[in-house]
Chains A and B, each alone.
Chain A
Amino acid sequence: MKIIVTSVLFVLCIFWLPLVTVGIIRKTKARLQGRIGASVLQPFYDFVKLWKKGETVCETVSWMFRSSVAINASAMLVLSVFVPWLSFKPVVAGDDLFLVLYLFALMRFFTILMALDPGTAFGAFGASREACLSMLVEPSLFISLAALGQSVHTSSLSAIFSFANTGHLAAVPIWFSVGVSLFLGSLVELSRMPIDDPTTHLELTMVHEAMLLENSGRNLLLAEFAHGLRLVVLYGLSVQCFLHVLVCVLPLTSLWLGVLSLGGIFLLGVLTALIESVSVKLQWKKAPEFIAYGLTMSLLAAVASLIEGVQL
């Protein structure tokens, strides 16, 4: 009975959480700028609008353009089932951390292909930046998840994030630094503020939005949905790390864990909006310096898991 309830809840979360989180980020940013802002449910209305709209596709594109959006969205759905981003996610066999990281890489590959296919200059700009950023951020994601895997002696993500054997104070540094590293990495991965400004209208400086320029209608809807889902999955993963820190200090029931993992994702969304309101976009030259901090936190986790031999 319990597994049916959690599965239904989980599937519901896949579909409404991305939209609400994006809505919360937009609303918080609007309030911080002194505007009232659109309702938190605005992304729902946008999706309905995009669903009804017709589609304009460039004449020169090949089949790759439209299929890569579908590939991305389906890869993202598979990822959302594999990655333990909510504490009540049902356990699925085969959720290896290397598979998950390479599925993320696959999505990036097809996004870049989609941007290059129409042959516009802006798309190519965005694609080249995305390739550069992903190359820089990949080591930090790899090392941080591998550090966790090393200390549990498994590469299955649901075994790592299972809240079993917690309560060691010594595990706190590893979980905390992995959480920070994943959050910094996801800011880069999702091309959010210190690296890229998603609301700017200068296509020359954008990363992710520049790649979506040629999409319209339902294609755009799928691309936006995949991006929103990627946002909540990555934020959820880092929230799970912080929850493990919390569990090391005080034990929680599974109901509280579920509530806190949803609340944590919203909190990280608000934090993102705060960062985007108070900071300015970094110079492109300075981006590696920012990404280096994410790598540093993951290296610290790796050192901690190696030299201490901590059992989580």
Chain B
Amino acid sequence: MNLTPYEMVGIGAAVAAILMVGSGHLRVNLTMYALQTVLIAVETGLYAYSKHEDHFYFVAAAIFLVKAYGVPRFLSWIIKHIEVRSDPGTVLPTPLVMHLSIILFGLSYLLACQLPAPGGHVLVLAGASAAISLVFTGLLMMLTRRIALSQIIGFLTMENGIYLFALTQTEGMPMMVEMGILLDVLGGVMIAGLLAFKIKKSFEHIDVTQLTRLRD
């Protein structure tokens, strides 16, 4: 298989996500998330360059500003204010989660091989496996973490994966749709962040394993 730089950037994003899962420190997680999103913005820019579709440059710039700069900035502000530094994790120790997500990376390659190519196009195999791996990695992060903030980061990683899949497999979505999704993500992160803030205020912790029982 010959890899182009375009596909390598996509795989780089998946690798950044895998490295993100391996650390329990929320700040490291946020930095790696920002790196992964920057790579996805670069991927969008490369797509615009190769297909000569200028409006994707705007999408790339918006992703960079909103998801790679704005969202990590906001979340790190929240981390500072609720005074939670690291996530002990549940179910599995964090290094093992990282190794598990590499196995899922291999699995996502096998899955991508099974996918039917959309009519008239050639399936971008590396892009598809990177995208599916991003979704798996985000899912693993949401499943194995204790702190609500890590779940937000895991969710954002899954969102990145779905975006990457749409970008690499189709001709890209219309700009209005991309912008709408970006706005939704921003709104979602804002609400989730403020909710984490409120939960911390009323329960004195944001441990999701202890939020299973209802009370008055």
Contact = CB atoms under 8 A, between A and B. Distances in A.
Interface of A: 169-170, 172-173, 288-289, 292-293, 295-296, 299-300, 303, 306-310
B15 A295 contact: no
Interface stretch (B33-41, B101-109, B136-144, B203-211): B101-109
Interface stretch (B67-75, B92-100, B175-183, B194-202): B92-100
Contacts, number: 51
Interface of B: 1-5, 8, 11, 15, 18-19, 22-24, 94-95, 98-99, 102, 105-106, 109
Contacts of B4: 169
Given A303-B102, A303-B105, A296 B2 contact: no
Contacts of A288: 95
B98 A296 contact: yes
B109 A307 contact: yes
Given A299-B99, A299-B102, A293 B19 contact: yes
A300 B102 contact: yes
A296 B99 contact: yes
B98 A307 contact: no
21 contacts: A169-B5, A172-B8, A173-B8, A173-B11, A289-B22, A289-B23, A292-B22, A292-B94, A292-B95, A292-B98, A293-B22, A295-B99, A296-B18, A296-B98, A296-B99, A299-B99, A300-B15, A300-B105, A303-B102, A307-B106, A308-B1
A301 B210 CA distance: 39
A10 B104 CA distance: 44
Contacts of A295: 95, 99
A53 B94 CA distance: 50
A63 B105 CA distance: 52
A279 to B, nearest CB: 13
A296 B106 contact: no
Nearest to A308: B1
A23 B102 CA distance: 39
A168 to B, nearest CB: 8
A306 B98 CA distance: 19
Contact of B22 (A296, A303, A306, A308): A296
Contacts of A300: 15, 18, 102, 105
Given A170-B3, A303-B109, 10 more contacts: A169-B4, A173-B3, A173-B11, A289-B22, A289-B24, A292-B95, A292-B98, A296-B102, A303-B106, A307-B106
A245 to B, nearest CB: 12
B8 to A, nearest CB: 7
A296 B19 contact: yes
Nearest to A170: B3
Identify the 8 closest CB pairs spanning chains A and B, nearest first: A292-B95, A170-B3, A299-B102, A307-B109, A308-B1, A303-B106, A296-B98, A289-B95
Nearest to B97: A292
Contacts of A296: 18-19, 22, 98-99, 102
Nearest to B14: A300
Nearest to A292: B95
Nearest to B106: A303
Contacts of B11: 173
A295 B3 CA distance: 24
A310 B1 contact: yes
A293 B21 CA distance: 11
B213 to A, nearest CB: 31
Contacts of A172: 8
Contacts of A293: 19, 22, 98
Residue among A172, A173, A296 with the highest chain B CB neighbour number at 10 A: A296
B7 to A, nearest CB: 10
Contacts of A289: 22-24, 94-95
A195 to B, nearest CB: 15
Given A173-B8, A309-B1, A292 B102 contact: no
A275 to B, nearest CB: 16
